[in-house]
Amino acid sequence: MTAELLNGKEIAKDYRAGLAAGVEELKEKGITPNLTVVIAGNDGASLSYVRSKNRAAEKIGMASDIVQLDENISEQTLLDKIRALNNDDAVSGILVQVPLPEQISEEKVLETIAPHKDVDGFSPVNIGRMYTGQRTFIPCTPLGIMELLKHTGAVEGKDAAVIGRSQIVGQPVAKLLTDQNATVTLMHSRTRELTAKLADFDVIVSAAGAPGLIKAEHIKDGAIVIDVGNTMVDDKLQGDVDFDAAKEKAGWITPVPGGVGPMTITMVLNNTLLAAKWHNGME
């Protein structure tokens, strides 16, 4: 058996076509969604990622701005810039690129972004709303993972393992899977005999950041395997899963790169469109 490939590039392409239609609909009402990305410093990888978000937004008809600040900027100056964007009605969504310079508190940045413009879904207010079932922005990587899983059928009643307990990926994914009536086990670096337990699960979502952690023998026949890992090894991006071997045993599997990554950027655009709609009183 060879697994069905969950091609994030293709799924994202189709999803963005729908977003483009939504943007055009808003433009006909005189509303142009705007994504503004703030970056402090000149890190090449971060700049490349920011520009890719900018291009993706513009490709579906959104306005998109990059605010590039000096890496030595003071925390107060950055927070003041965010407050100015909060008060700018032309800006639908604000995203602050991480990592941040050491003199700036990521916690303070997330607390300063207005919740109704926090399209990353990382602010404490939006995280709280997610866990209490209120309308909010879902963090983009978990939301993208759930969209990928839709292409495999319902997860209701399935046993799911989530590896990694970060507040950005692992914990939100566990919450979203639970909301879809999966039975979820959240695993992490202190889980005993982690890989030995995986063969009991119908769904595996791995965000461990440990290249090659999951081998074919760790996977249940026909399981759905979502690989969130993206570690650079010898100038090549590698996931947590031994893809070539695992694809011969899994039922569905994501590649690295080209699996979860394109969906993350797509969900930034999704949340920006939602922000523009909600700000203008639309559901």
pLDDT in tens, 59-110: 999 999 999 999 999 999 999 999 999 999 999 999 999 999 999 999 999 9
Check if the beta carbon of residue 236 is closer than 8 Å to that of residue 257.
no
- Count other Cβ atoms within 10 Å, centred on residue 59: 13
Residue 43 pLDDT: 85
Q: How far is CA 150 from CA 65, 134, 145, 231, in A?
A: 32, 22, 9, 26
What is the distance in angstroms between the CA of the first residue and the CA of the last residue of the chain?
43
**Exactly one of 53, 81, 247, 249 is catalytic; which is it?**
53
Q: State how beta strands 236-238 and 231-233 pair.
A: antiparallel
pLDDT at 46 over 90: no
Catalytic residue among 81, 117, 120, 202: 120
Q: Whole-model pTM?
A: 0.96
Query: Which residue among the candidates 81, 97, 158, 171 is catalytic per the annotation?
Result: 97
Q: Is there a catalytic annotation at residue 227? A: no
Domains of the chain (ranges, CATH numbers): 30-113 (3.40.50.10860), 140-261 (3.40.50.720)
Mode of pairing for the β-strands spanning 93-96 and 34-40: parallel
pLDDT digits (tens, 9 = 90+) for 164-176: 999 999 999 999 9
Catalytic residue at 238?
A: no
Q: pLDDT-derived band of residue 45, with 50, 70 and 90 as boundaries?
A: confident
Active site residue 167: no
